[in-house]
Amino acid sequence: MAVFFKHIGWRLEVLAYDFIRLLMVPFTLNQISGFAGWLIGVIGPKTSKHHIAKTNMKLAFPDADDAQIDTWLKESWNRMGRTFGEFPLLGRIKVFDKNSNVEVVGLEILEKLKRDKKGAVLISGHFANWELMAAVFSQAKLPVRVTYRPTNNPYFDKRIRAQRKAYGIELMVAKSGPKGAKELIQALRMGDSVALLNDQKFNEGIEIPFFGHGAMTAPGPTRLAMQTGAPLIPMSIVRTSGTNFRVTIHEEIKPVDTGNSPEDKKADIRATVIKITQFIEDQIRQNPTDWFWVHRRWPKNMYKREP
């Protein structure tokens, strides 16, 4: 009986989501984005997530005064709201149309991968509307497997997969440990690329300095590149204004390779993960309000409230 009511609850959640999507139909992307930015800008600071975001910013930018932090937080909530509001409508965005609101820099790197029929490990973080990076490589017709974490609600998960398919993402791989890793390795060896976000806490990972503080970080993308010889290609996205974006495909990050012993390999993986983390750091420093600050990136004890 408990399972029955759980499924009823899941279906009601999806019904509410579908109803909201239906209400969005008459409005433009700009209108929905602006409203969602305003709404979350009002609600966000009243939630427990505000403390997490503020703590993160203070850890990352210890020299910033309270006024600067508050200014960044206000803009950050607005931009997060825009991102969430835009997600159901991303199927409307055609990256390479004449009047597209997405500028792409470094597209020749993806084009070369296609010509060479070579897979790459595409890495990035939760910047601006990170889903649009996937829209770029999928609409560029680059064969890519995108990793994702299935939601607890299987009906909602189905909706998310359908929406991603609407803007070009056909092949998704659930983050499922060894099984998912095996599928990604096979894809790379077949010449397909894989895409992963490498900026959130991963308890089973390795501790890497992030803005000067130790943070558990996933070594998976680095291991994939080293095991298959696929290049590590970082990507970033900036919200330049409103619903206008610039996606950049950066030059390859070269994995560190100092030797063949197990100790050497372990050190090389760590050194390469540090390189990726430094790339993430650099992007955040350049655009502090574009990152997803509401995630607990550092150990829990760093988020304790002062008495």
Residue-wise pLDDT for 273-298, tens only, equals: 999 999 999 999 999 999 999 999 99
Run means of pLDDT, 10 residues per run, the chain, 307 residues? 77 83 88 96 96 97 97 98 91 89 96 94 96 91 83 80 73 63 88 93 94 96 94 97 96 90 88 97 97 96 83
Q: Specify the pLDDT at position 161.
A: 79
Q: How far is residue 137's CA from residue 195's CA, in Å, rounded to a whole number?
A: 10
Q: How far is residue 284's CA from residue 103's CA, in Å, rounded to a whole number?
A: 19
Q: Is the Cβ–Cβ distance between 110 and 142 less than 8 Å?
A: yes
What does DSSP assign to residue 288?
G
Residue-wise pLDDT for 200-252, tens only, equals: 999 999 999 999 999 999 999 999 999 999 999 999 999 999 999 999 999 99
Q: Specify the pLDDT at position 178.
A: 65
Q: Specify the pLDDT at position 263.
A: 80
Q: How far is residue 128's CA from residue 237's CA, in Å, rounded to a whole number?
A: 6
Q: How far is residue 286's CA from residue 38's CA, in Å, rounded to a whole number?
A: 24
Q: How far apart are the first and last CA of the chain?
A: 44
Q: How far is residue 238's CA from residue 236's CA, in Å, rounded to a whole number?
A: 7
Domains of the chain listed by start with CATH number: 2-297 (3.40.1130)
Distances (CA, A) of 110 to 45, 107, 116, 239, 244: 39, 5, 10, 21, 21
Q: Specify the pLDDT at position 106.
A: 97
Q: Is the Cβ–Cβ distance between 177 and 152 less than 8 Å?
A: no
Q: Is the Cβ–Cβ distance between 95 and 38 less than 8 Å?
A: no
